[in-house]
Structures are given as C-alpha cells and as structure tokens.
Amino acid sequence: MTKVHCIKIEPMTAKSFEPFGQLLDSNQRPIDRRIISSAGFEVDGKTTVGIIWQPYEGLEFNEMERHFGVTQTFIQLSGSPAVVAVAPPTDLFELDAVPMPNQIRAFLIDSSKGFVFKKGTWHSLNRYILSPPGATFVILNSIPNPTQIVNYAENTGRIYKDLDSDNMPTSVNYDNRFGVTFRLTL
C-alpha cells in the first residue's frame, strides 16, 4: 500500500516558477512600439506543435517525467482552471537523480500566460483540471523526445530514447525508495 503525499497548490508567478522554467509574458510593454520577447524554447530535434485536451480526472497522480532534449512548452487555450506539478531539474546524465516527494510543488496555471520548462525539469504527465469538463492546451515539443518517467507508487521507472516510438524503454527499479501517491490540495 502506498502513502499519500499531499501537495498544496500555489500561484504560478514568474518568481515562484523560476526554478522550473519561465512564464510566457512580455518583459516590457511600451505604448509606442512592438516588443518581441524571448520565449526560451529550445529543442534538440524537430519542433512539434500539438493540441492536448485534458479532461477532469481528479487530483491524484503517481508519475513524474523529465525531457532531455526540449524545453517543453504549454499554453492553455480554454477550459477550467488547471494545475501542473513540478520538481527542479536534476543532472541529465544521472538517471538515478530522481526528486524526493517533498521536492515536488504544484502550481495553479495562469491561463493568461504560457509556461516553458527548463530542460530536465520534472513534471506531472498531465495538467490537473480543477473542475469538469476539462481544458485545452497547446504543447511545443520535439521529435525525438528522450524522456525519463518515474512511477512513485510502484518504485519503477522507464527511460525512452523517444517517448513516441521507443517500444522497449530501459526499466529502472528504485528499490522501495518512494511508495507514494500524490494528492493536490487547495
């Protein structure tokens, strides 16, 4: 049986989110000229743009992932308020460098801004919708998409050379290190 680790949802601000990435927002807003601000998106492959529909499914999860070759980016287009769980990036070359449960935080997504994860930032596989029916997001991603996923409840992991096409990922056993399911709380 797994333990439940509660994570309090906090506001997503430029300062609170800085250890994990950046918000997509204009740094300057002059009234007399247009400004183009850097979005911080980087990719080690081909850029892909997709649309995600995320239905309301509750506020519990047990998996986190990180991407090695992309600063994955999300922009909420519509729908209910949503939350994303994150943990700081760890060494991309150290596959056992998995965040401890107390390092995971949860942010209420500011739907007026997108957000960009730093390479290696651990994050929930889904955005968690606070009320039915769900929400729609744009995702900027990559092909190939080398990814590591950890299942905290089962103490296992998978490392994919490409998340979309690798049918035989490397398996990892975390030797009962975690045994945790996460619950997001307001």
Specify the pairing of strand 180-185 against strand 3-11: parallel
Collapsed DSSP state (helix, strand, coil) of residue 48: strand
- Determine the Cα–Cα distance for residues 79 and 62; give it in Å rounded to an integer: 24
Mean pLDDT of the chain: 95
Q: What share of the chain is helix, strand, coil (3-state, %, to 5)?
A: 5, 45, 50
- pLDDT single digits (tens) 37-94: 788 899 999 999 999 999 999 999 999 999 999 999 999 999 999 999 999 999 988 9
- Determine the Cα–Cα distance for residues 99 and 117; give it in Å rounded to an integer: 16
Nearest to 155 by CA among 58, 37, 61, 62: 62
